[in-house]
Structure 1
Amino acid sequence: MPPSPALRPHLAPPDPATLPLPPAAEPEDGVRLLRAVPYAVRSGSRPLALDLWFPAGPQAAPLPVIVFLHGGGWRTGLRDRLGPRFRDWRPGPFARLVRAGFAVACPDYRLSGEATHPAQLDDVTAALGWLRARAGELGLDERRVVTWGESAGGHLAALLALTARPAVAGCVVWYGPADLATTPADPTDPGTPEGLLLGAAPADVPERARAASPVAHVTADAPPFLILHGTEDSAVPFAQGEALAAALHAAGAEADFRPVPGADHVWVGLAEEEVEEVFAASLDFARRHTAEIPA
């Protein structure tokens, strides 16, 4: 028996744009954290949540925002992890970004065991939409947004930056796949991370692989990019960073491509001070490109 008209509205998924916010925690001095805030509630899927990090205390002006997207081969990963080299940082990396004057949003997205592309891009686009819808309430500047991701999250950060409307202010990509037709060692294998994301071997679905590739979405209107990629990356070839930078340059867009000598994936092989330098360069990029838009 179908539900009655009077009951039907009560069975619909709630609108995350109107849900009450959770109480804030203070995980580090001077930092507030809203943990596991629902941003998308879809029928037939688990609710998706984000963590939102803020400076403690009142703000004189709306905050610029970093949207950070975690890695894990689209197959695993935790939204509150910048990568294994940052696990023991005290203060943590998100607290450092907050102390530099940013709000930081770290959303979940559906993994490839749950849904194939474009679900992941749909999810992070929804997260950005939620942030913009609640910007006034949260004290965020919806114009001054930088996307930032590592590995699979770098791929999604690039896709989001290239497709978001209105445009974001910039994008930081750490060792992210840029062309899914050429990333895997064997494009005919459906069991690679790329094949699992696409639902088939990239060689068997070239149009789908192209649509899921940041290089296919580059235009002259792309926001500024900072691309950092280890020269010894054994998981996502160094050529992927080169390809994204080349596509941006060819379109006339701004791209700062910085090879990181001696670095493997997730910055394995770097000394601690070199990891600090990579982080500082990324923060400096976010600062500069959000400062160009007056608060």
Structure 2
Amino acid sequence: MPRPFPFELLAPPNPLTLPLPPAAHPFPGVRLLRAVPYGVLDGGRPLELDLWLPDDVPGPRPVIVFVHGGAWRQGLRDDMGPFMRDPEPGPFARLAAAGFAVACVDYRLSGEAVFPAQLDDLRTALGWLHARSGELGTDSSRTVLWGASAGGHLAALTALADPAGTAAVPPVRGCVVWYAPTDLGALAEDCPPGRFDPGSTTSFEALLLGGAPDAQPALVAAASPAKRAGPGSPPFLVLHGTDDTLVPVAQGRRLAAALRAAAVPVDFREIEGADHLWVGIEEDRITECFLTSLRFARSVTAGPVQGGAEDDRQGDGER
């Protein structure tokens, strides 16, 4: 009589115990682990992250978790925006050279799953980084979230969702938000006439939420970082262009006002003349946005990074 098939062997491997892939060395002093699985979904693709690690930095390194943009509909995990693609070394190698471990994470796009799946994915990534911090040489208790556009929205939500942390995920130390939507219920008020229709079922926001925003106000509030700020939330750096034609600067103002009302430290800076993605401003001003964000990450992860540069521009990869 044939033995029953051991169906447990069909189960996917646990990302918490999978061997790490071999490291590449794209730049001196920097290791890169590409496409590391951090989550395995039933009926879906594996979720992966790229991990940039500094060599020769004593002690556990603080962590930056980068969340990409793309209107929740598209985008690549290692893309900080069109003006950050060409310089070599790129932004993540520069952050690693400054002493940070950098995790660029996938999350499910709105064509794969609706909110709050994306928030769940980022929590899973933080849990993976915490569980494997010993072998990675990282300090997950010193983690900063950093996101751009839709990624800034998700980074902010993740930072605000569990400000005290959980048993599996320590609280994050800070959050960097670039030109992100922060109050989905106020977009119709903030956008120029005709720019945003809360009754549409085909807008990027509707595709994220699984229906027209005005038909589900409770979900809109749950998906709005400006409605989630409260006591104990981590410090924020919010950068937003004054001439943003896709996500009005009023959205950045709303998040900053909500954080201040909750007595949460926030550094809000309006970048004069900048459109979305930093379109319309000079290269050196884009570099300054990057360096400002790096300085913030340093400050909230307990001072200068061990092994990092003494001067803001030395070792920061100034272009």
Decide: shared fold, TM above 0.5. yes
Match of 1:258 among 246, 269, 281: 269
CA deviations on 1:18-42 (whole Å, 9 max, x unpaired) are 0010000111222110000000001
1:176 aligns with 2:174: no
Q: Is there any run of 5+ residues in structure 1 with no aligned partner, and where? A: none
Residue 54 (structure 2) pairs with residue 50 (structure 1): no
Shift of 1:220: 1.3
Query: In structure 2, what is the equivalent of residue 150 of structure 1?
Result: 148
Once residues 107 and 96 of structure 2 are traced to their aligned partners in structure 1, the CA distance between those partners, rounded to angstroms, is 22
**Aligned-CA RMSD value:** 1.6
Q: Does residue 110 in structure 1 map to residue 108 in structure 2?
A: yes
Contact 1:13 1:42 in 2 (8 A): no
* C-alpha separation in 2, matches of 1:120 and 1:11: 26
TM-score w.r.t. structure 2 length? 0.88
Q: What residue is the counterpart of 2:193 in the other structure?
A: none
Are 1:278 and 2:289 an aligned pair?
yes
Whole-angstrom CA distance in 1 between matches of 2:187 and 2:62 = 33
Correspondences of 1:222-237 after superposition (within 5 Å):
222-237=233-248
Partner SS, residue 79 of structure 2: coil
For residue 17 of structure 2, give the secondary structure of its aligned residue in structure 1.
coil
1:77 to 75, 88, 91: 75
Whole-Å Cα distance in 2 between the matches of residues 277 and 59 of structure 1?
25
> 1:13–1:43: 8 Å Cα contact kept in structure 2?
no
Q: Which whole-Å CA distance do the structure 2 matches of 1:25 and 1:292 have between them?
A: 29
Q: Is the 8 A contact 2:148 2:177 kept in 1?
A: yes
Query: Normalising by structure 1, what TM-score?
Result: 0.95
Would you say the 8 A contact 2:298–2:304 is kept in 1? no
- Determine which structure has greater relative contact order: mean sequence separation of CA pairs < 8 Å that are 6+ residues apart, divided by chain length: 2
The match for 2:87 among 66, 71, 89 is 89
Moved more, 158-167 or 264-273: 158-167
Cα separation, 1, equivalents of 2:292 and 2:140: 23
Correspondence 1:62 to 2:60: yes
Tell me the distance in 1 between the aligned counterparts of 2:231 and 2:49. 31
Q: In structure 1, give the amino acid aligned to 2:214.
A: A
Aligned residues: 291
SS in 1 for 2:185: coil
* Identity across the alignment (%): 60
CA distance in 1, matches of 2:148, 2:62: 20
Other-structure match for 1:209? 220
Q: Is the Cα contact below 8 Å between 1:144 and 1:293 reproduced in 2?
A: no
Per the alignment, in what secondary structure is the counterpart of residue 31 of structure 2? Answer: strand
Equivalent residue for 1:33? 32
* CA distance 1:87–1:293, shift in 2 (3 Å): closer
Once structures 1 and 2 are overlaid, which stretch shifts more, 23-32 or 266-275? 23-32
Q: What is the CA–CA distance in structure 1 between the aligned matches of 2:107 and 2:186, rounded to whole Å?
A: 24
Residue pair 2:98, 2:305 contacting (<8 A) in 1 also: no
Runs of 4+ in structure 1 off by over 6 angstroms are: none
Corresponding residue of 1:187: 198
Q: Is the 1:173–1:228 contact (alpha carbons within 8 Å) kept by the matching residues of 2?
A: yes
- Aligned AA (2:184): L
Equivalent residue number for residue 8 of structure 2: 9
